[in-house]
Structure 1
Amino acid sequence: MPDDKDNQGAQDRARVSADQPYEVSYFAQKHGIPQDKARQIIEQHGPSRAACDAAVSSGR
């Protein structure tokens, strides 16, 4: 589902979408990982940015 650019509150910043190429790209660049790996992590751990960040940090 496309991201609503007008709804950018705290809930929006707490989530990352595997369907939005710019979010996958940002997440990958932030963690220094390939985009395909970033997309895999997001799909595996859900849209919670905290859960995805923790998964990268723990090497999962």
Structure 2
Amino acid sequence: MSDNLTKKDQRDRSKINMHEDFEVKYWMKELGVSKEELQRAVDKVGNSAAAVRKELSA
């Protein structure tokens, strides 16, 4: 099912959704990493943005 277009920018920025291209691109730019690096971090620590930030800064 597609995103509800009536909700404007109400994304949960505390989670990283690797199944949405626009979210992957956002987090790649935000964290300064490649898609592969982002995927490895999410696979290792889960989709919590805080946990992924911590993992990538370690």
TM-score norm. by structure 1 comes to: 0.66
> Pairwise mapping of residues 1-60 of structure 1 onto structure 2 (< 5 A)?
6=7, 8=10, 12-58=12-58
User: After TM superposition, what 4+ stretches of structure 1 lie above 6 angstroms from structure 2?
Assistant: none
TM-score norm. by structure 2 comes to: 0.68
| Deviation of 1:43 (Å) | 2.5
Aligned-residue CA RMSD (Å): 2.5
| Deviation of 1:2 (Å) | 6.1
SS of residue in 1 equivalent to 2:43: helix
2-side partners of 1:51 and 1:2: how far apart?
Answer: 27
| Deviation of 1:19 (Å) | 1.0
Contact 1:18 1:24 in 2 (8 A): yes
**Larger helix proportion, structure 1 or 2?**
1
Unaligned runs of 5+ in 1: none
Q: Radius of gyration: which is bigger?
A: 2
Provide Cα deviations, 1:12-52, integer angstroms capped at 9, x if missing partner.
Answer: 22111111111111111122211121122123221111001
